[in-house]
């Protein structure tokens, strides 16, 4: 026979597992990335570690900093 508190422990462990999986997915998705569209509609990813990627990320940060913030 299962102990009465075991149900509660299992439920809390399940919620904690789901929460950690959500945070893990969120961390993976929140990495900065850049994508450039070529004429004809083809999209090409740009590595942010490259020189072109660093320049592109710097330009994007400058645009974001210059834009008025919405409240």
Contact between 68 and 56 under an 8 Å Cβ cutoff? The reply is: no
- Give the pTM: 0.47
Residue 63: pLDDT over 70: yes
pLDDT at 70: 65
Q: Where do the structural domains in the chain lie, given as residue ranges?
A: 4-66
- Across 44-52, average pLDDT: 87
| Chain centroid, CA 33 distance in Å | 10
**DSSP structural state of residue 35:** E
6-42 pLDDT, tens digit each: 777 887 888 888 888 888 877 766 677 788 888 888 8
């Amino acid at each position: 026979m299962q102990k009465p508190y075991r149900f509660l422990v299992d439920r809390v462990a399940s919620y904690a597992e789901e929460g950690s999986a959500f945070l893990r997915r969120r961390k993976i998705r929140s990495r900065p990335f850049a994508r450039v569209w070529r004429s004809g509609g083809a999209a090409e990813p740009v590595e942010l570690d490259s020189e072109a990627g660093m320049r592109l990320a710097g330009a994007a940060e400058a645009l974001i900093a210059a834009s008025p913030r919405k409240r």
